[in-house]
Amino acid sequence: MANTPQAKKRARQNAARFEVNKARRSRIRTFLRKVEEAIESGDKDAANAALRAAQPELMRGVTKGVYHKNTVARKMSRLSARVKAVG
């Protein structure tokens, strides 16, 4: 357990940051799930729209430090290839 005032503050900050990051990850996963569902339904227009909506969310995850840049680039590449193959 944290003993120094600095360590106690750090523990509080980490707990708060964890909650924010958890919410952000959940939001991004929701956008990704919508893309997946649109791909599975076979609706190319819906899949394109869902992908366009998911892109800024993913990139925001990178700038906020939730995801690594290359991870998001890989996800976007694979998703866009799957969306392109629909229909």
Q: Determine the pLDDT at residue 72.
A: 97
Residues 3-55 pLDDT 10s: 999 999 999 999 999 999 999 999 999 999 999 999 999 999 999 999 999 99
* CATH 1.20.58.110 corresponds to the domain 5-85: yes
Q: Determine the pLDDT at residue 27.
A: 97
Q: What is the pTM of this model?
A: 0.86
Residues 9-22 pLDDT 10s: 999 999 999 999 99
Given CA atoms 60, 25, 19, 13 in this order, what sign does their dihedral have? negative
Could you report how far apart the first and last alpha carbons of the chain are, in Å?
A: 56
Q: Determine the pLDDT at residue 2.
A: 81
Q: Provide, for the chain, the percentages of residues in helix, strand and coil under a 3-state DSSP scheme, each rounded to the nearest 5.
A: 85, 0, 15
